[in-house]
């Protein structure tokens, strides 16, 4: 899944911004700067979407009524990037390869996990 853009309502505070994501009930965060508030909103979206089999459809910004100094920012969310940042735990996999290739790789002190990870990232264009 590539970027999904969720509208976020930003409310200026004495210091920074409080942020709500109306499409994700109960999704609130804050940041002291605009950049920090956007980053925190991306993290909050990821936390709200974890474990869901389907993602809520993003609304159009005009669907929300805003008041006072509030404003809407479209927050990009990339599930692959979120996982790369927050879900880097290792997972053990069993694989098979020809014995001659295994022997040659071991003799060359090849890191099997590193090679597999690099190959998967290249294959997935990440």
Run of H or E including 119: helix 112-123
Q: Does domain 4-86 have CATH number 1.10.3720.10?
A: no
Per residue in 4-22, pLDDT tens? 899 999 999 999 999 999 9
CA 51, distance to chain mean position in Å, is: 13
- The tokens describing 47, both together, are 């936390």
**Residue 69 DSSP label:** T
Rounded distance between C-alpha atoms, residue 38 and residue 73, angstroms? 9
Q: Is the pLDDT of residue 1 over 70?
A: no
**Residue 109 DSSP label:** T
Of 65, 64, 80, the closest CA to residue 4 belongs to 80
Average pLDDT over residues 102-107: 91
- Residue ranges per structural domain of the chain: 4-86, 90-126
53 band by pLDDT with thresholds 50, 70 and 90: confident
Rounded distance between C-alpha atoms, residue 104 and residue 98, angstroms? 10
């Amino acid at each position: 899944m590539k970027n999904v853009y969720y509208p976020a309502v930003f409310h200026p505070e004495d210091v920074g911004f409080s942020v709500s994501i109306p499409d994700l009930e109960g999704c609130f965060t804050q940041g002291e700067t605009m950049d920090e508030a956007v980053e925190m909103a991306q993290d909050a979206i990821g936390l709200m979407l974890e474990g869901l089999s389907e993602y809520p459809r993003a609304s159009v910004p005009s669907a929300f009524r805003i008041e006072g100094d509030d404003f809407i920012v479209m927050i990009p969310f990339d599930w692959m990037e979120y996982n790369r940042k927050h879900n880097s735990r290792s997972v053990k996999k069993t694989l098979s390869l020809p014995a001659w290739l295994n022997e040659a790789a071991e003799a060359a002190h090849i890191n099997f996990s590193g090679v597999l990870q690099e190959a998967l990232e290249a294959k997935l264009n990440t």
